[in-house]
C-alpha cells in the first residue's frame, strides 16, 4: 500500500510511474457480474444483510467449494466477509489471545503476522528456501509447534513467491501436523485458479479429510474474477469456528453489502471463460518478466508456478549505489531508488519476511510490463 501510495504521489507531480506494487488484476469485472449487481439494486436489495452472508451467496459458495475442491459444507459452515483479509481477521481474533502463537511460513503476506499481533499473539516464522521452491519443510513446521501454537497458515499459490504446493507435499504437511490436535490450519487459497504450470490445486481439507474439522479454507472473487473493489471473501470450516468468526464480524463490520454479494453469486455461478483467459495471460506475462529480470547480472528470478507476481532475488545488487547516488544497502533501499529514479514501483522482499528479494506484480498491461523491465534493466546497469 505504501509503495502504491508513493507511485500515486509521483504521478500527481506529472511523473510517468509504472506501479507493479499492488496485487490487483488489470482485467475488467465481467459484464454479467455488473449486470447482476445492477439488477439486485433495482430489486431493492439495499438493506442490512445477514452477518454471515446472504442465503444466495452462501449457497453459491457451497457449490463453488464442491465443484473446485470436492469440499462439501453445510450452510452453517460458511461465512462471507469484506474480502479475505476480514475472514483472516475474524478467524484470528476469535481464537487468539495474548501469548498464543501462529506459525507462518516465510515469505508471507504480511496480514497474517500483523493481525496476529493485534490480538496479542506471537507470529513464529518458518523460512522457506528458494531452492525448495519456497515450499515449507514439513519437519520444520512440526518443530515450530509448541503448546501455545493455535494456527498454521498455508497460502498456495503463494503471495509473494507464486509457489504452488503439490498434493504429495501437502500430504506431508498434513502428516506432520496430524499429531498436533490443538493447532488450527488456515488454507488461504485466494489464488487457487491462477496456476500456470498445469498442475492441480491442492488444499488441506481435500488432501487430508481427517483434518477438515480443524481447517479453515479461504477463497474469494477478488483475484479470480477481477473483483478486488467488490470486497468479497469467504471461507468454509467447522461450524463452531464459523460461529465464533460471525460474532467477531457482527461487532466489527457486520455483513457485506447485498449488491456486492449478488455480483459474487453471478461470478461463481456464471460463465468461467475469464478465469481461463486470465490464467493464460498471467502465466505468459510472468514468464516473460522473469526471463527479462533473470538476465540481469546479480539477479536470480525463476518464473512462478502460480499467482501473478515475480519474486527476483536481488542480493547480488546490494552494497552498490544507484545512478542518483543513493546507497543500496537493502532491498528496501533498492525499491526506494527504483521508484524515485527509474519510476517503477515494486515492494521490497523484507515486507514479506524475505530480505534480499523484490516483488513485482504482473497484473499490468503487456506494454507497461515491457517498459518496466526496460527501466529496471537500465537502472541495474547503471548501479555504481
pLDDT tens digits for 78-111? 999 999 999 999 999 999 999 999 999 999 999 9
- Span 184-197, mean pLDDT? 96
- Which CATH number characterizes residue 51's domain? 3.40.640.10
Q: What is the rounded average pLDDT of the residues 38-49?
A: 97
> What are the helix and strand counts (H, E) for the chain?
13, 14
Does 39 share its domain with 20?
Answer: no
- String of DSSP letters for 222-240: TTTTT-GGG--EEEE--HH
Whether residues 163 and 58 share a domain: the answer is: yes
pLDDT score, position 356: 98
pLDDT digits (tens, 9 = 90+) for 208-225: 999 999 999 999 999 999
pLDDT band at 6 (very low <50, low <70, confident <90, very high): confident
pLDDT band with cut points at 50, 70 and 90 for residue 11 = confident
Domain boundary among 246, 269, 292: 269
- The pLDDT score that the predictor gives to residue 13 is 87
Give the burial class of 112: count Cβ atoms within 10 A of its Cβ; 0-12 exposed, 13-18 middle, 19 or more buried. Answer: buried
Q: Are 339 and 255 in contact (CB under 8 A)?
A: no
Q: Which domain holds residue 137?
A: 31-269
Shared domain for 121 and 232, answered yes or no, is: yes
pLDDT digits (tens, 9 = 90+) for 59-75: 999 999 999 999 999 99
pLDDT tens per residue, range 102-117: 999 999 999 999 999 9
Backbone angles phi, psi at 180, to 5 degrees: -100, 75
The sign of the torsion formed by the CA atoms of 109, 115, 116, 118 equals: positive
- Whether residue 217 is found in the same domain as residue 340: no
Contacts for 101-105 with beta carbons within 8 Å, 24 or more apart?
Answer: 101/146, 101/148, 101/149, 101/150, 102/149, 102/150, 102/151, 102/152, 102/153, 103/141, 103/144, 103/145, 103/149, 103/151, 103/152, 103/153, 103/183, 104/153, 104/353, 105/136, 105/141, 105/153, 105/154, 105/155
Regarding whether 223 and 115 lie in a shared domain, the answer is: yes
Please choose, from the candidates 116, 113, 111, 86, the residue with its C-alpha nearest in 3D space to the C-alpha of residue 98.
Answer: 116
Say how many domains are in the chain. Answer: 2
Residue 8: the pLDDT is 82
Amino acid at each position: 500500500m505504501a509503495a502504491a501510495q508513493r507511485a500515486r504521489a509521483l504521478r500527481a507531480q506529472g511523473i510517468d510511474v509504472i506501479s507493479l506494487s499492488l496485487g490487483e488484476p488489470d482485467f475488467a469485472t465481467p459484464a454479467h457480474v455488473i449486470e447482476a449487481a445492477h439488477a439486485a439494486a433495482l430489486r431493492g436489495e439495499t438493506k442490512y444483510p445477514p452477518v454471515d452472508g446472504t442465503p444466495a451467496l452462501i449457497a453459491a459458495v457451497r457449490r463453488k467449494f464442491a465443484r473446485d475442491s470436492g469440499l462439501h459444507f453445510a450452510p452453517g459452515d460458511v461465512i462471507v466477509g469484506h474480502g479475505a483479509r476480514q475472514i483472516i481477521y475474524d478467524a484470528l481474533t476469535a481464537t487468539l489471545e495474548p501469548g498464543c502463537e501462529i506459525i507462518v511460513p516465510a515469505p508471507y503476506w504480511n496480514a497474517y503476522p500483523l493481525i496476529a499481533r493485534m490480538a496479542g499473539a506471537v507470529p513464529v516464522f518458518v523460512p522457506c528456501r528458494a531452492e525448495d521452491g519456497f515450499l515449507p519443510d514439513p519437519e520444520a513446521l512440526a518443530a515450530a509447534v509448541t503448546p501455545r501454537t493455535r494456527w498454521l497458515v498455508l497460502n498456495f499459490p503463494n503471495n509473494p513467491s507464486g509457489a504452488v504446493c503439490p498434493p504429495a507435499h501437502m500430504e506431508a504437511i498434513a502428516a506432520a501436523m496430524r499429531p498436533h490436535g490443538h493447532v488450527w490450519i488456515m488454507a488461504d487459497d485466494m489464488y487457487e485458479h491462477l496456476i500456470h504450470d498445469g498442475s492441480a490445486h491442492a488444499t488441506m481439507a481435500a488432501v487430508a479429510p481427517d483434518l477438515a474439522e480443524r481447517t479453515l479454507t479461504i477463497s474469494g472473487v477478488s483475484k479470480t474474477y477481477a473483483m478486488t473493489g467488490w470486497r468479497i471473501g469467504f471461507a468454509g470450516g467447522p461450524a463452531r469456528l464459523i460461529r465464533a468468526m460471525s460474532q467477531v464480524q457482527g461487532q466489527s463490520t457486520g455483513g457485506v453489502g447485498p449488491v456486492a454479494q449478488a455480483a459474487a453469486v453471478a461470478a461463481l455461478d456464471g460463465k468461467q471463460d475469464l478465469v481461463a483467459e486470465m490464467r493464460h495471460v498471467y502465466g505468459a506475462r510472468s514468464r516473460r518478466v522473469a526471463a527479462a529480470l533473470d538476465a540481469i547480472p546479480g539477479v536470480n528470478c525463476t518464473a512462478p508456478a502460480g499467482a501473478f507476481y515475480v519474486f527476483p532475488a536481488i542480493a547480488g545488487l546490494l552494497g552498490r549505489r544507484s545512478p542518483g547516488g543513493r546507497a543500496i544497502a537493502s532491498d528496501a533501499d533498492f525499491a526506494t531508488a527504483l521508484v524515485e529514479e527509474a519510476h517503477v514501483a515494486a515492494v521490497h522482499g523484507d515486507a514479506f519476511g524475505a530480505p534480499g528479494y523484490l516483488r513485482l506484480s504482473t497484473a499490468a498491461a503487456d506494454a507497461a510490463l515491457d517498459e518496466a523491465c526496460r527501466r529496471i534493466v537500465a537502472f541495474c546497469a547503471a548501479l555504481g
